[in-house]
Amino acid sequence: MIDVHSHIIPFVDDGSNSLDISISMIEEEIKQGVDKIICTPHFRKGVFEKTGEEIKRDFDILKKEVERKNLPVALYLGREITIDRRLKDVLKDDYTTINGSEYVLLEFPYTAATDVDEVCYEASLLGFKPIIAHIERYSYFRNFDEISAVRKNGALVQVNANALAGKCGLKDKIFIKGLLTRNLVDLVGSDVHHGRQNYMADAYLKVKKKYPEIAEKIFISNAEKIIK
């Protein structure tokens, strides 16, 4: 499996505060069946503002330690961008996109209603392909027709593994089921931080059982297209 959303690089955000913790998180990813991890540390105005070069430095340290320990996993660098008015400036950073591609993972406000389609359109005008991070968290953006329209305009939809595993409320479960039955999920991520349980294996098994026709696509093949 490919985990497209994770916070395992040490020292750069709230995901991990030591190299040892990061390695233990990666070892858990491997146990979950993940063999490729896209590392997506936060950029959030006034909270997590490490430069791309700083993140690349810590990413390289982590990658070398993974290689030294001969862990069977490949790491790729990206970023999770919490949108604000500086979107255009932030997206100029050399290490903003996933593995040097055109794809960028965008996080939206959880409760303050935001025009998701407009933000994705702005990103596309700048030459990027937006990925909507953990779409299940945006209570104001649950209209399936609107989600379908955003995808038709080029955006991808990412869902967190814990939501697919059913570790959420009833309304969220109904929403997730609606996304899956309408084939509106493109990618899956653990969104793992130190102290959060990783549900990648549980999520994969549940999706494969109920929606076998899309499991391989959303857990593997769609993500492979991004990192290549």
pLDDT of residue 117: 95
- Write out 54-73 in H/E/C secondary structure: HHHHHHHHHHHHHHHCCCCC
pLDDT in tens, the chain (228 residues): 999 999 999 999 999 999 999 999 999 999 999 999 999 999 988 889 899 999 999 999 999 999 999 999 999 999 999 998 777 777 877 789 999 999 999 999 998 999 999 999 999 999 999 999 999 999 999 999 999 999 999 999 999 999 999 999 999 999 999 999 999 999 999 999 999 999 999 999 999 999 999 999 999 999 999 998
The amino acid at residue 72 is P
Tell which residue, 123, 104, 103, 134, has the closest CA to residue 43: 104
The C-alpha angle with vertex 20 and arms to 159 and 68, in degrees rounded to 5, equals 95
What's the confidence (pLDDT) of residue 147? 98
Neighbours of 23 (CB within 10 A): 19
DSSP letters for 168-206: S-HHHHHHHHHHHHTT---EEE--B-TTSPP-HHHHHHH
Q: How far apart are CA 136 and CA 149, in angstroms?
A: 17
pLDDT of 122 reads: 92
3-state percent breakdown (helix, strand, coil) of the chain, nearest 5: 45, 15, 40
Spell out the domain ranges in the chain. 2-227
**What is the C-alpha separation between 91 and 80, in angstroms, rounded?**
11
Q: Please, are residues 141 and 108 in contact by the beta-carbon 8 Å criterion?
A: yes
**What's the CATH number of domain 2-227, 2.40.50.140, 2.60.120.10, 3.40.50.720, 3.20.20.140?**
3.20.20.140
pLDDT computed for residue 152 by the predictor: 96
pLDDT at 90: 78
The pLDDT, as a whole number, for residue 214 is 97
Q: Give the pLDDT confidence score for residue 211 in this predicted structure.
A: 96
Per-residue pLDDT tens over the stretch 149-201: 999 999 999 999 999 999 999 999 999 999 999 999 999 999 999 999 999 99
